[in-house]
Amino acid sequence: MELANLIVIFLFGGLLAWLAEMMMENSARWVSLLTIALCSAYLWRLVGHIPAELFHINPVANQAGTWLMHHQMNWIPRFGVSFELAMDGLSLLLIVLTLFLGVVAVVSSWAEVDHHRGFFQANLLWTLAGVIGVFLALDLFLFFLFWEVMLVPMYLLIAIWGHEGKAHAAMKFFIFTQVSGLLMLLAIIVLVVLSAETLGRYSFSYFDLLQNDLSGGVATMVMLGFFVAFTVKLPGVPFHTWLPDAHTQAPTAGSVLLAGILLKTGAYGLLRFTVPLFPEAALQFAPIAMGLGAAGVVYGAVLAFGQSDFKRLVAYSSVSHMGFVLLGIFAWNHLAIQGAVMQMVAHGLSTAALFMIAGALQQRLHTRDLGAMGGLWHNMPRMGALALFFIVASLGLPGMGNFVAEFLILVGLFQSMPWMAVVAALGLITGAIYSLRLMQEAFQGKPDAHRTLPDFGPLEMTVMIAMVIGLLWLGLYPQPVLDLAQPVINSLTAEVQL
């Protein structure tokens, strides 16, 4: 069970970090870094052993042998529950993103977290464990389990180490995810029970459930169960309202993980489960889903413009950017899905960086209020220049990953629903409006003459520059990422035609 080890490393790493901090001050964060490094090295070795040609074969969704890796072990045979993990290009890509942003999260918590450091790092690593589990699990019972594993430590991160309104925000986050998770659980059970009639046995395995012959109203209801759960996570309008609160109140590392990775589990779920499991229902529903996506693009941008809290503004920008993902997935053609995948990665990097900057500002100024900022470029030119970079990246400047993503989504969308693309393209304008406002309010304008603030230090600069390089690479030579996802998308679109 090599794939399981990826998760186990994080579960134990978290425990270890907690224990280490009790024995030695400030050791937990090093344990975290080492854990991520260990997991990365392990993943490297695993991927090294995969035959190169497998990366070019379109995995057949229900033939385990064509995936990069696949493991299955009995767990609760009576109900057809098994411990089934599998990896294809898409999950590999998202796991690499998770590991990278894991490092970013640890670094951004480096000086910020000042109490219960060990337990903090433990929760951070357990969140990562849950996320990787979500990206790997192909048994729906197991998937649901990881979905919950991801939730609890994240709740604690917000509730314990958050800012002034943490209790409310953490509760809201928990209830939204929990209620929508319940819908998904119901949908899973209905799906399994109904498929058992044709299969002749209970099975929670993705491969078996793909053969379901649900149709009509039942299929739509079950599909909606999945859709709502994933769209809450994404988040899509109108299920997004937990996000601004959670982001604003979470500690920096929490925001980085939330925006960078947790939101992507929603997109991943839509792509992996909602559409392939219920192609017909999804086809009928696609115009509504795309409408929600386009609404999200514009709605998020308008609300972002209205905010006066740095983190809240960035949170709404996420709502807008994730609207593009929803559009890309439900446009369901190569270009659009590639764009959606690219958007997951690029948005992960650019937004994580912006949250890190927001965290650094809060630490230095003790406020997130844009009205209290201004002229910060003068005080911290390095941070200003980096903020500028990530802001223009997130408004979709060509040459950076976000542009590749949004362009592919829109050009793909234009082929299936031109008018939807026209509405979504408004996001390019409204995106510029709120992004440049953020730059102006925080870093430009008249500097406060009495303020002396420390600029980014070497550790933060290293992480930041890594993200700069990442975004430029995605923007100028995105082919490796596209190639990794291409076979998966080929097989998804070949089997499911919307």
What are the phi and psi torsion angles at 83 (to 5°)? -90, 90
Query: Is residue 57 part of the contact set for another protein (CB under 8 A)?
Result: no
Which residue, 277 or 410, is less far from another protein as judged by CB? 410
Which residue, 338 or 343, is less far from another protein as judged by CB? 338
Query: Is residue 428 part of the contact set for another protein (CB under 8 A)?
Result: yes
Give whole-number Cα distances, 19 to 37, 329, 331, 404, in Å.
Answer: 19, 43, 48, 44
CB of 306 to another protein, least distance (A): 3
Query: Is residue 397 part of the contact set for another protein (CB under 8 A)?
Result: yes
SS3 24: coil
Token reading at 33: 């870094």
Q: Give the other-Cβ count within 10 Å of 305's Cβ.
A: 17
Query: Is residue 419 part of the contact set for another protein (CB under 8 A)?
Result: no
Rounded Cα distance between 268 and 279, Å, is 16
SS3 61: coil
Query: Is residue 246 part of the contact set for another protein (CB under 8 A)?
Result: no
Which residue, 17 or 228, is less far from another protein as judged by CB? 228
Query: What is the full DSSP assignment across 236-279?
Result: -TTS-THHHHHHHHS-HHHHHHIIIIIHHHHHHHIIIIIHHH-H
Residues 120, 146, 285, 414: which binds another protein (CB under 8 A)? Answer: 414
Rg (CA), the chain: 22
What residues form DSSP beta bridges with 76?
Answer: 81
Query: Is residue 241 part of the contact set for another protein (CB under 8 A)?
Result: yes
Residues 407, 466, 473, 495: which binds another protein (CB under 8 A)? Answer: 407
SS3 426: helix
Rounded Cα distance between 424 and 330, Å, is 13
CB of 447 to another protein, least distance (A): 6
Query: Is residue 432 part of the contact set for another protein (CB under 8 A)?
Result: yes
CB of 334 to another protein, least distance (A): 5
Residues 49, 115, 446, 450: which binds another protein (CB under 8 A)? Answer: 446
What residues form DSSP beta bridges with 139?
Answer: 205
Query: Is residue 466 part of the contact set for another protein (CB under 8 A)?
Result: no
CB of 2 to another protein, least distance (A): 31
Query: What is the full DSSP assignment across 167-223?
Result: HHHHHHHHHHHHHHHHHHHHHHHHHHHHHHHHHSS---BHHHHTT----HHHHHHHH
| 113, 118, 121, 125 alpha-carbon torsion, rounded to 10° | -170
H and E: helices and strands count for the chain? 21, 2
Residues 77, 165, 238, 287: which binds another protein (CB under 8 A)? Answer: 238
Residues 399, 453, 466, 495: which binds another protein (CB under 8 A)? Answer: 399
Query: Is residue 286 part of the contact set for another protein (CB under 8 A)?
Result: no
Query: Is residue 71 part of the contact set for another protein (CB under 8 A)?
Result: no
* Contact set for another protein, span 110-139 (CB under 8 A): none
* Contact set for another protein, span 290-309 (CB under 8 A): 302-303, 305-307
Q: Of the listed pieces 112-120, 274-282, 349-357, 476-484, which binds another protein according to CB under 8 A?
A: 476-484
Query: Is residue 234 part of the contact set for another protein (CB under 8 A)?
Result: no
Residues 37, 433, 459, 469: which binds another protein (CB under 8 A)? Answer: 433
| 341, 424, 477, 270 alpha-carbon torsion, rounded to 10° | 0
Interacting residues with another protein (CB under 8 A): 237-238, 240-241, 244, 302-303, 305-307, 334-335, 338, 375, 377-378, 381-382, 385, 388, 392, 397-399, 403-404, 407-408, 410-411, 414-415, 418, 421-422, 425-426, 428-429, 432-433, 436-437, 440, 443-447, 476-479, 482, 486
